[in-house]
Chain A
């Protein structure tokens, strides 16, 4: 019997001790690649849609462990900025086009141009799909779906009031709103969003009246045109009184509740709220329409929502996730859950879209719709200056001219 020396015993013990480490190494080799996805989906429908897409993705890519993290939309840039500053970025982030300049200015996204150009589905995404995610010729996001701005209107009230269809111009819009307003019944012609998120409609109207905002990095606002727009919009509350008294504080939830509960006859939002209304109201009660034309232009936004990569770690797996949204099955699954339009022309030909009359207005809007403005400082200017200055008109604290002066000063400050 051989004698076990002290050295041999120690060597054996060391070998045994290293076994779990070796096993761990093997286990790690087989571990799925981790991808963290930041998004700002809010509603039940959106979460159902995301779940459907994630389930399909998990089947196709079992070696990728995808984790979704929901960041409330108003805090999205706060978290994004903190992640960039603290170097704790997720692999993938949702990218709204109006946020792209700010995200890029803080070096928060990585260049995807080479990957996009080599992507087999790129032919189904025409050039306009990429504008909102492109800067200086480089692409920083892949379109996932589209928000198409449109009008919801009470079909039954329009018929009862003898109004022929939804308004096509802003003049027709005011006429219809006046006819449908009856404060004694707590009924108003239009659910104006003057609270959180309401800045977008003020900006849209200024453009519909003919002003530009930034040209060659300089303030290009045309005061008379901007003033006409702001006056038209605020007159709905202060002169025509066709909006609920709560308009100055009404955000998304309030305008939707106002429409669903029979307080308002029309409201502006995008295709994203269709599923909620279909569930809450009868088909005979409401319809959808393209937004009315302004004196200079018909403005409705096509907001392609993108997914972009924030870091090079696990880059292939992260790319697989954002490219997956362009495929037919996940895009249709997401549409069925949320009503959100696919960004791919191939998917848009699907019978489930072309056969639904409620989507006709969205199809019409895609023929003239434009992307929201995108310049560095837009988010701060529109939310910190445009909206509160407009609210001050609604509550009688100042007139439209003073508000436009302050908006123009605010834009100067944002650009300088």
Chain B
């Protein structure tokens, strides 16, 4: 009876001496990742190959191959949504990055009141999307909106404009709202990056007589390159997958002029209960993000650093 602990200890000792030991230690974490990440992802992909219409149980839930993917080729709304998604993600990220960079550079100077200003600048990011969306819907309202009133008073508009009812303006207006809401994300990360730039570099630049522009161009932006690449990828993923703001402001309309893939997938799933088609749309979004991120990271040369 007294041999058993010894045996156990020797087993553990033998295992810890072996080459498999590091892998055994990873097992709990791998199981967790499989349960939380892998299983839902694979289930989502599996659904995209099935007939999953919750309100049509007679159709069953069997495999139907690439039917949903082939249907997409002839789905005009899908192509419009794909195009809108590209504009929505690219233009919004560029706007947010530029705004965020300007704000980060300004805040890095640490003028008096810097902390208060930093908190005010970051406020939009703290607002839930639903709140931000409704605030802007009211501010841009064609009857009572303060922005319309200001533009009319300044003589820029002759009359109040229904921004979200005009297909030429609905998407740009929504992009501006999203940029306002999202730029503090970039400002925060870039400011953190700027704080890590060694002061010796600035001192050397000053000795060399570098102008403000040269300092930004040759010291600050290169120092931020990794952060810019990572934050752009993160933000693009977030924008691609989040239909909330467009759902509040336009619902994808008028017509399909602000329809994007995430919103379309949501509507297919929860209005038509066609989870199979919605799953296929999600897989397409997943692939687009994977490929887009890979190309962007490769072309940015960020990994060479």
Contact with B along A245-259 (1 / 0, CB 8 A): 111111000100110
Given contacts A105-B54, A246-B143, contact A392 B254 (CB under 8 A): yes
A398 to B271, CA, bound (A): 24
* Nearest-neighbor residue (CB-CB) of B168 within chain A: A395
* Complex partner residue of B254 from A101, A257, A381, A394, CB under 8 angstroms: A394
Residues of A within 8 A of B247 (CB): 74
B55 on the interface (CB 8 Å rule)?
yes
Decide if B165 touches A249 in the complex (CB within 8 Å). Answer: yes
A77 on the interface (CB 8 Å rule)?
yes
Given contacts A254-B141, A383-B267, A397-B167, contact A102 B253 (CB under 8 A): no
A384 on the interface (CB 8 Å rule)?
yes
Q: A195-B251, A257-B141, A261-B143 are in contact. List 11 more A-B contacts (CB 8 A).
A: A194-B254, A245-B161, A246-B143, A249-B162, A249-B170, A249-B253, A377-B55, A388-B259, A395-B255, A395-B257, A398-B255
A380 to B273, CA, bound (A): 8
B56 on the interface (CB 8 Å rule)?
yes
A388 to B170, CA, bound (A): 14
Given contacts A391-B255, A392-B255, contact A81 B272 (CB under 8 A): no
Task: State the Cβ distance, B226 to closest chain A Cβ, in Å.
Answer: 38
Q: Which of A78, A81, A247, A249 has the most CB of B within 10 A?
A: A249
Decide if A380 touches B271 in the complex (CB within 8 Å). Answer: yes
Residues of A within 8 A of B271 (CB): 77, 379-380, 383-384
A81 to B166, CA, bound (A): 33
Task: State the Cβ distance, A41 to closest chain B Cβ, in Å.
Answer: 18
B193 on the interface (CB 8 Å rule)?
no
A261 to B257, CA, bound (A): 29
Residues 351-391 of A at the B interface (beta carbon under 8 Å)? 376-377, 379-381, 383-384, 387-389, 391
A379 to B143, CA, bound (A): 30
Q: Which of B56, B143, B254 has the most CB of A within 10 A?
A: B254
A414 on the interface (CB 8 Å rule)?
yes
User: Can you list 16 pairs linking A and B with CB atoms under 8 Å apart?
Assistant: A107-B57, A195-B251, A195-B253, A246-B142, A248-B253, A249-B253, A258-B143, A377-B56, A380-B267, A380-B268, A380-B272, A384-B267, A384-B271, A384-B272, A388-B254, A397-B255
Task: State the Cβ distance, A378 to closest chain B Cβ, in Å.
Answer: 10
Residues of B within 8 A of A166 (CB): none
Decide if A249 touches B143 in the complex (CB within 8 Å). Answer: no
A234 to B53, CA, bound (A): 33
A257 to B137, CA, bound (A): 13
A107 to B253, CA, bound (A): 32
Count, chain A residues at interface, CB 8 A: 43
Decide if B272 touches A250 in the complex (CB within 8 Å). Answer: no
A395 to B56, CA, bound (A): 34
Decide if A250 touches B165 in the complex (CB within 8 Å). Answer: yes
Residues of A within 8 A of B259 (CB): 388
* Complex partner residue of A244 from B162, B170, B269, B270, CB under 8 angstroms: B162
* Nearest-neighbor residue (CB-CB) of A394 within chain B: B254
Contact with A along B136-177 (1 / 0, CB 8 A): 000001111000000000000000111011110010000000
Decide if A257 touches B144 in the complex (CB within 8 Å). Answer: yes
B133 on the interface (CB 8 Å rule)?
no
Decide if B144 touches A395 in the complex (CB within 8 Å). Answer: no
Decide if B55 touches A102 in the complex (CB within 8 Å). Answer: yes
Residues of B within 8 A of A246 (CB): 142-143, 162, 164-165
A261 to B143, CA, bound (A): 9
A409 to B207, CA, bound (A): 72
A384 to B76, CA, bound (A): 13
Task: State the Cβ distance, B61 to closest chain A Cβ, in Å.
Answer: 12
Residues of A within 8 A of B143 (CB): 244, 246, 254, 257-258, 261, 263
* Complex partner residue of B253 from A254, A258, A388, A398, CB under 8 angstroms: A388
A80 to B2, CA, bound (A): 59
* Complex partner residue of B165 from A263, A381, A395, CB under 8 angstroms: A395
Q: Is the interface of B mostly helix, strand, loop or mixed?
A: loop
B48 on the interface (CB 8 Å rule)?
no
* Nearest-neighbor residue (CB-CB) of B253 within chain A: A391
A-B contact count (CB 8 A): 114
Residues of A within 8 A of B257 (CB): 395, 397
A-side interface residues toward B, CB under 8 Å?
A: 74-75, 77-78, 81, 101-102, 105-107, 186, 194-196, 244-250, 254, 257-258, 261, 263, 376-377, 379-381, 383-384, 387-389, 391-392, 394-395, 397-398, 414
* Nearest-neighbor residue (CB-CB) of B271 within chain A: A380
A258 to B54, CA, bound (A): 39
Given contacts A384-B267, A395-B165, contact A248 B144 (CB under 8 A): no
A105 to B252, CA, bound (A): 27
Residues of A within 8 A of B144 (CB): 257, 261
Task: State the Cβ distance, B137 to closest chain A Cβ, in Å.
Answer: 9
B92 on the interface (CB 8 Å rule)?
no
A21 to B124, CA, bound (A): 50
A194 to B257, CA, bound (A): 14
Residues of A within 8 A of B268 (CB): 380, 384
A317 to B160, CA, bound (A): 53
B282 on the interface (CB 8 Å rule)?
no
B180 on the interface (CB 8 Å rule)?
no
* Nearest-neighbor residue (CB-CB) of A106 within chain B: B54
Residues of B within 8 A of A392 (CB): 254-256
* Nearest-neighbor residue (CB-CB) of B138 within chain A: A253
Q: Which of A74, A186, A248 has the most CB of B within 10 A?
A: A248
B85 on the interface (CB 8 Å rule)?
no
Task: State the Cβ distance, B256 to closest chain A Cβ, in Å.
Answer: 6
A74 to B130, CA, bound (A): 13
Decide if A414 touches B255 in the complex (CB within 8 Å). Answer: no
Residues 251-304 of B at the A interface (beta carbon under 8 Å)? 251-257, 259, 267-274
Task: State the Cβ distance, A85 to closest chain B Cβ, in Å.
Answer: 8
B250 on the interface (CB 8 Å rule)?
yes
